[in-house]
Amino acid sequence: MKRTALLRVLATTLVLACSAAGGQSTAPSDGPLKVLRYAFPIAETSFDPAYITDLYSRTVAGAIFDAPLEFEFLAQPARMRPNTAAAMPEVSADFRRFTFRIQPGIYFADDPAFKGRKRELTAADYVYSLKRHYDPRWKSGNLYLLEADKILGLSELRREALDKKQPFDYEREVEGLKALDRYTFQIRLAEPKPRFLYHFADSSFTGAVAREVVELYGDKVGDHPVGTGAFYLKAWKRSSRMVLARNPNFRDKRYDEHPPAGDGRLQAIASRYKGKRLPLLDEVHIAVIEEAQPRWLSFLNDEQDLIENVPAEFANVAFPNNTLAPNLAKRGIQMVRYARADVSVSYFGMENPVVGGYTPAKVALRRAISLAVDVDREIRLVRRNQAIPAQGPLAPQTWGYDPAFKSTMSDHDVGRAKALLDMHGYVDRNGDGWREQPDGQPLVIDYHSQPDQQSRQLVELWQKNMTAIGIKMDFKTAKWPENLKASRAGKLMMWGVGWVAGQPDADTFLALGYGPNKGQANHARFNLPAFNALYERQRSLPDGPERKVLMTDAARLMIAYMPYKVHVHRLFTDLAQPWVLGYQRNIFVRDFFRYIDVDATQQRGRGADGP
């Protein structure tokens, strides 16, 4: 028997075995299964859209769930289109009423919750899924986004559940969220929100969840994601490995992309795959490899088909002077380089008695620490020139970012830092070489980090920077999900983390400082009335000069009070094996792999493991 035929038989046997075990089948491709293998550097936390906030869990959830809208994969600049919606929503002239009509004939992946019947997606599923973010039971990390948009009646329903300590009332209809018929739902807001639709292009946030699934799995629903998306979760070993497989119930959706006219490479990709049924892959295998070196070696050894954001310590080897290394080019490795809409920050816990507060002395402490941070050295030595200095909290690739804006955020001035500390009473009183607080109490900064190589290098740089100004810093290391949980509870003094935009608007980053977002996006727990007022005003305005001025003024307040030391905006470089076809990155499309293809014959010919 020929090798290809044998592999087809084995694949079919695997499918039947999976089905016999109670799992779903994966429709095999014409030939060996097409499998994309790559790795996350950080473990997932959950797959429940009402809970997750981290990038990696969102990536998996984005492949499983469906939002009404989506961003076009190859469009530049970013552009939305219908996904499960039959057309773009009807939006009132005052940006306060949004009416969505869902396509009939879209079905959830099979699950025991549906008791053997095909379960169609309806408008009521989106109403239920949005309400779940308001249910205190689920502790939604995205609630702040919806509450800031003021959907009529939902926040009041949540407060009633909290005040009366009773279950959230899903049956009660509210003015701001209604299913008008089986396939139509409408949202009404208290105030104009011109960019409200962006939320509905994020399937890891506003993707539809079936009520039967939540009721069956209860608190474990994050372990049992069931959606209408292109993939379902076939296998999962927590913090180790995830296998996504083609959803047999996925609707007939075809590749239809419209890249910029002048980009020949993207034009060729769009032409090659136009009309092909999505997803192009059969499975996606995602490993969790936290350390950079084994992740890099795994790619070089053909054990991974793709490496996202090549670890900075290997940048000079992989692409010296940002050009693909000749040895990799000879192997046919592909390089895709792009600016990420993100900020890398270290936040100060504003409710912490040591580093928090709004008095001049506390502000001076945070500003001195910021001035002592050598961002240029961080970029050169730790990030290997794969970043640019940040001047404030607003990031590239988003509306509101100004590349000409300059502030003190990126300044490195040890002399000025020492002078600020001296002026406000942070001096060494006992002669041990470390400064004390103005009241004579010890000054020790607890900085939380992760156990990966780059984090260790950043810790070393922090130690050197703080020693230079006489501040003692202790470092606490834990896994990322553990730090996230503690951070949401307000238990960390300082933590270094990245924040990535899910939509092409800089409001995402101003949300880090909005007081009502404490415990959600606002990990620093910053709460300044003047900032809150600016933030609320800019949200109600359409894009234009007036809104941009307000955003800049809000950013200046964050810089002045320094709840966040914003270090850099990262530049990412992805490498893909020659058998990965159609590869491109759109930073607002998390489930990019539905558009990616694999030449399975070439993949296996290089000794890559099969599924």
Do 527 and 559 share a domain, yes or no? yes
Do 581 and 566 share a domain, yes or no? no
Do 510 and 391 share a domain, yes or no? yes
Number of domains in the chain: 3
Do 215 and 259 share a domain, yes or no? no
* Residue 456: inside a domain: yes
Do 87 and 205 share a domain, yes or no? yes
Sheet containing 241-246: order of strands: 35-40, 283-288, 241-246, 231-237
- Contacts (Cβ under 8 Å, ≥6 apart) of 446: 473, 474, 475, 476, 492, 493, 494
Secondary structure string (H, E, C) spanning 69-108 = EEECCCCCCCCEEECCECCCCEECCCCCEEEEEECCCCEC
485: part of which helix (H) or strand (E)? Answer: helix 480-488
Give the strand pairing for 472-477 and 444-449.
parallel
* Residue 19: inside a domain: no
SS3 279: coil
Do 358 and 452 share a domain, yes or no? yes
Q: What is the CATH number of the domain that holds 314?
A: 3.40.190.10
Cα(110)–Cα(150) distance, integer angstroms: 35
| Contact call for residues 592 and 257 (beta carbons, < 8 A) | no
* Residue 21: inside a domain: no
* Residue 591: inside a domain: yes
Decide which of 200, 222, 244 is a domain's last residue.
222
Do 375 and 276 share a domain, yes or no? no
* Residue 3: inside a domain: no
pLDDT value for 608:
53
Do 288 and 326 share a domain, yes or no? yes
Decide which of 199, 222, 245 is a domain's last residue.
222
* Residue 12: inside a domain: no
Q: What is the CATH number of the domain that holds 170?
A: 3.90.76.10
Do 560 and 416 share a domain, yes or no? yes
* Residue 16: inside a domain: no
| Contact call for residues 375 and 410 (beta carbons, < 8 A) | yes
Cα(297)–Cα(304) distance, integer angstroms: 9
Do 472 and 356 share a domain, yes or no? yes
Please give the full DSSP string across 287-336, using - where no structure is assigned.
EE--SHHHHHHHHHTTS-SEESS--GGGHHHHSGGGS--HHHHHTT-EEE
Q: What is the CATH number of the domain that holds 368?
A: 3.10.105.10
pLDDT value for 12:
33
* Residue 57: inside a domain: no
Task: List b or e across 160-169, with b for residues whose CB sees 16 or more CB atoms inside 10 angstroms.
Answer: ebeeeeeebe
pLDDT value for 607:
58
Decide which of 193, 222, 251 is a domain's last residue.
222
pLDDT value for 524:
97
For the chain, 611 residues long, the average pLDDT of each consecutive 10-residue run is: 36 33 44 94 94 93 98 95 98 97 98 98 98 97 91 97 96 97 98 96 96 98 98 97 98 97 95 98 97 95 95 92 95 94 97 98 98 97 94 96 95 98 97 97 97 92 98 95 93 94 94 93 97 95 96 98 97 96 94 95 73 38
Do 589 and 442 share a domain, yes or no? no
| Contact call for residues 39 and 198 (beta carbons, < 8 A) | no
DSSP state of 382: I
Structural domain boundaries, residue 435 = 342-570
| Contact call for residues 68 and 200 (beta carbons, < 8 A) | yes
Do 508 and 534 share a domain, yes or no? yes
259's tokens? 């890249």
| Contact call for residues 417 and 562 (beta carbons, < 8 A) | no
316's tokens? 């000079």
